Chains A and B, each alone.
Chain A
Amino acid sequence: MCLGIPGQIVSITDPEKLLAKVDVSGIKREINIACIVSDGHPVAACVSDWVLVHVGFAMSRIDEEEAARTLQILEELGEVELELDAMKLSVESK
């Protein structure tokens, strides 16, 4: 019910009604972009935005840097775990 799906805005279809066309995995449909438009991010700037689509509305612009940062944290956690494993092994083998 509360799920959303990432899509990329390909064009503005009705700047007055704040409607745009979004591409979700090759499926294109018209969505409402009222929730991602602001003074600092006008309608025209929305083209090529990655957004979270929920029941026909773009609900949030996806922050690529934050997505990368989250994955980076997990990457680093993996490295720490490997190091801990190596340390544990070396202690056990003594």
Chain B
Amino acid sequence: MDEQIRKFVYRIRGRLREQQVVSNLVNWSACGLLAADVISLASLVVPFYYAVFSAAVIVALLFAAGAVIGICKTPKPMQAALQADAKGYKEKISTAYFLIGREDAFSRLQKKDALQVMEGFAVRKEFPVRLPGKRLALLAVLALVFALTIQVDTPARKEARTKHRVGQEAKEDIARLEKVEKQIAEHKDISSKEAEMLKEQLKQAGEEIKEADTLAELKKAEERIAKKLEMAAGRMENETLSEIAQQGAKEAEDAAAGREEELAKAAKEAMEQAENGSKKDKEKACESLEALADQTENEALEDAAASYRDSDYAQNEYKNAQKKLENALNGDGVQPGDKQEYAQGGNEQQGEQNPSGNPGEGNGGANGQGGSGNGSGEQGQSTGSGWNKGSKEGGEGPGRTDESITVPEGEVGSDDNLTGKANSSGNRETGKTNQSSAWSGSKVNYGKVSGAYKEKAYKKVEGSNYPVKLKDRIKNYFDGLN
């Protein structure tokens, strides 16, 4: 009798557990989906690349938690018996379970009575495992909201994607720089002075990469790094170090070129899709072009995308858009006659400087890059600056870090301090004074000063509201002072 009662109670308990697990799964999943919806909605306005991933993880975790808690919260046998009694059995089942092990007359009679009740007790009918309809509907609604909101593309989402991509690429770049740094550390024959100098360059390069927010900025940073390393390689006395720097420069250059190629390919594909695809494809292509324009900060691409969009897909309008896009892809950066880019010298500029620190005269080979393509510049004269088309990355003169320059204290000298000329009788008077700025200044290493100037200029530029291109130019100039 006791065993029968126990089995019955455990059967009820099993049913209750099943129901508990189902309810918990639905409830916790609803909570998870609610959280997913919140994340998804938040990611519409706040850039968060991992929104979908986070939402999926939360839903999965809460789903698992629901199952585990459902199992853990299974009612105890007595509670199960009481729940069975609640169906109108006047506590017969729970009392019978309570009386297990007792054999007095009343207990026997009670258990017998309870067993009769149990025989007629349809466990499946009385304790059906029901799916909570309303909550399931809520679950479906929440899932739908998530599915819909995740499809919406907003500037925040684009920004998140761009940042993520930039972050990934930046990681690769930093890994390359670390590789170079490791190579330097491995070679014991490198003089510590040169190694330190290169490491400093690498450190600065790493910081620039970290600061990049867009692919365009990253590309520029890579190009700058390539040039810096290339120049550094030229200055290195140690061959090994020079090779390492050159290799690093090449890798950075390749990375920039690869990025260029990749973006161009993506833009071309988008263009083809816009031309040949359905209306939906065209819309998508427009979005792709806009995304590319955002990532590369390329106005031409932006114009091309806008033209596609504004054209309402009329065939004749495609040609204009295509033309703009082709211009963008060709790397002109601008359309002929529209803009002129000012560039300083070229990559191979050989500038000289006299001991007083004035700019030297030289020919600037203007092989700079402008926009997203390569352009050839004209030869510059004098300071190595010249007008060219598309070349915006000026070259840098040779390093002058070992040169001493005078740092004046800023006081105006007096004529009395000038060396006197011989008078008609051939006499002249010479006097020394400490009032002259020439004397009161001190001679310091050029490299130290230029670094401080560069830092000041960077800070000033960052705090200004100059256009981005101008900022880049200013930065490039100060980079060239090394």
Q: Tell whether A and B belong to one assembly.
A: no
B interface list, Cβ under 8 A from A: none
